[in-house]
Chains A and B, each alone.
Chain A
Amino acid sequence: MKPTNFFIVSTCLLFSSCAGEVAPGPEVSDCNTSAYEVPNATFYESLLKEYWIETGSPGVVAMISQPGNTWAGAVGQADLENGTAMQTCHQFQIGSISKMFTAATVLLLQEEGKIDIDEKVSTYLPQLKGNIEHVDRMTVRQLLNHTAGVPDYYYMQAYTFDMMNDPSSIKRSANEALRKYNYGKKADFFPGEGWNYSNSGYVMLGWIIAEVTKKPFEAVVKEKVIDPVGLTDTYMVDFRNPRRAKNYVDLSGKGVLIESSKYDDGVIGTPEGGVVSTVQDLTAFARGLFAGGLLTAESLSEMMFVPCGPDAIDEGVCGYTLGLSYWKNTAYGDAFGHSGGEVGMESLLLFFVEHDAVGVFFRNRNGPSRKQFLFDMLLKE
């Protein structure tokens, strides 16, 4: 037996790279800008551009709304492939800001007597007994404020793997998502004995909404929140809208972005991150919610109740109420709102109680960033 000598011939793969400059397009959009010609517009635009360059985002949109001073601006691009300039009317996935919509819907259903937020979750979803640990001990309120101890699917390896390899494999109906990622998982803690941000908890809330109304979750949100507030550029199902800005992510960490809108397409329409909207619509939503027009004063008060003393740090249960994050003592005073993020986008909505001011921004790239620029805008007299 004579072994045949064998050599592997390495194959060099030549990757033809056809590089081209992507035209940045108009720096500030011409969409509805005439409505926002305010004395500080130049200052606002310079802060927005500074933030845009600093974060390396393809585009940024922001809106601030104070009594007597409303401004919106956009910079950069909504779509790098086609060189589409970002405009203030571009729609974004708003990520977890959607939880405000879900929480408001739950409270509206409580006003109608269909949900009691202090009732046990298993009362509404008995089918979860034996599948979600402590489901007969946790309340709807605890799902709303993340104290139920339901493990968060978003940071599970199984979900990340599905999302990054084949987003179409992600099952988005509540029962499928929970079955795939949460059934049989050990609880993070006994309900009420800890705090852990949980998207899975909001999946359960969406399921409760659908169960008590006998309608699809997204239809109820449209009927209870989107339509009454008059949000005409906000949707949860028809996500093939051409005005939606594309998301971009730097997967390699080397400064090369790829379009990532498809990664989180499955999230659209869900209770934990399923709303697509504009800065104008989110500002209108914040006004409708915090001005008291959407919820009763009692419900709004319950939604904004911070169960901690004045010296407490705004973290955990002291930094999150019912679907609302709470920021204490910012440069512009106390604020309620929510941040959001999906693969390739970041969003923030803030309502400053003392100043009756709203600030919203989106950018179509994610990663750490200095959100302080919103405060700087609002602080400008």
Chain B
Amino acid sequence: MKRNLKRKMLLNSYLLLAIMGCQHATEAQQLPSLKVSVLCQGFGHSLSGVPNPSLSYGLRVGTEWSYFTKGIFSVGQDVNLGWYVHKRMQNSWMVSTAPTIRLATKGGFEAYFSLGAGKAVNLMAQNGYKDNGDGTFTREHHAFYSPWLLTGSLGIGYNLGKRSNLNMTVFAETQTIAELVRNQYTPVFPHHLFHIGARIPFSSNF
């Protein structure tokens, strides 16, 4: 009887520790966070499986907050401002927001998925010429266009706070952006980006 009680207590304490562990991980996800990532054009972006030797690059800064957390599962939302240099052709500023579904383990690992929308401003690395309709053209420095975007991301992360005092989550993310410009060449203009970054909760005493 005593032995069974001891075993039961031990089991309960393990369970409690496990729950606390989960709560600890998800609590961090509940906090609004600053997100920073560097990004590059993803390998195999062209769906051909051939790595592109001349990668494009960029930077994304954003924030993320949580709406709902239960156990290891949470639903949040992010807002990002990104800058992306297309090789030779254009630079893009992108603002996007996306609901994010996240699974975080007590060990500090997490996986997430997001699907959202945004707006890009693509600055062409060259002049534009506005057609005046009479055979003349007006020069505009830095031609740009601003299509709507659909974005989708898959990512994995690890909370360093589990092993050190450094309370941040590092993550790797693959993101697909479909640029909703409709013309002969870019009916849907996909970008496959690979991000490496960190997410730091806004908290003074966590």
Contacts and interface: CB of A to CB of B under 8 A. Distances in A.
Interface stretch (B4-12, B42-50, B110-118, B148-156): B42-50
Interface string A35-59: 0000000000000010011001010
A20 B138 contact: yes
Contact of A16 (B81, B141, B143, B145): B141
B93 A13 contact: yes
Contacts, number: 166
State which size class the interface on B falls in. Answer: 35 or more
Contacts of A262: 88
Nearest to A60: B135
Contacts of B127: 81, 258-259
A308 interface: no
Contact of A256 (B30, B130, B186, B191): B130
Interface string A68-104: 0000000111001100000000000000000000000
Interface in B161-206: 181-186, 189-191, 201-206
B101 interface: no
Given A157-B47, A343-B185, A15 B142 contact: yes
Contact of B137 (A16, A22, A181, A249): A22
A80 B137 contact: yes
B185 A251 contact: yes
A227 interface: no
A6 to B, nearest CB: 5
Interface centre among B30, B81, B139 (most CB of A within 10 A): B139
Given A166-B56, A254-B145, A11 B81 contact: yes
Contacts of A52: 135
A254 B124 CA distance: 14
Interface residues of A, number: 60
Given A2-B204, A160-B185, A161-B45, A258 B32 contact: no
Contacts of B186: 160, 164, 251
Contacts of B206: 1
Given A4-B32, A24-B135, A168-B54, A13 B121 contact: yes
A199 interface: no
B125 to A, nearest CB: 9
Given A15-B123, A164-B185, A180 B139 contact: no
B129 A4 contact: no
Given A17-B142, A21-B138, A21-B139, A158 B47 contact: yes
Given A53-B134, A77-B137, 6 more contacts: A3-B201, A4-B204, A11-B81, A159-B46, A161-B46, A256-B131
Interface of B: 27, 30-32, 34, 41, 45-48, 50, 52-54, 56, 62-63, 65, 79, 81, 86-89, 93, 121, 123-124, 126-131, 133-145, 147, 181-186, 189-191, 201-206
16 contacts: A4-B32, A8-B79, A11-B81, A21-B139, A22-B129, A22-B137, A56-B133, A158-B47, A158-B48, A160-B185, A161-B46, A164-B185, A250-B183, A251-B124, A253-B183, A256-B145
Interface of A: 1-6, 8, 11, 13, 15-22, 24, 27, 49, 52-53, 56, 58, 75-77, 80-81, 157-169, 180-181, 248-259, 262, 343, 366-367
The 9 closest A-B pairs by CB, nearest first: A252-B145, A4-B202, A166-B87, A158-B46, A256-B128, A56-B131, A255-B131, A257-B129, A22-B137
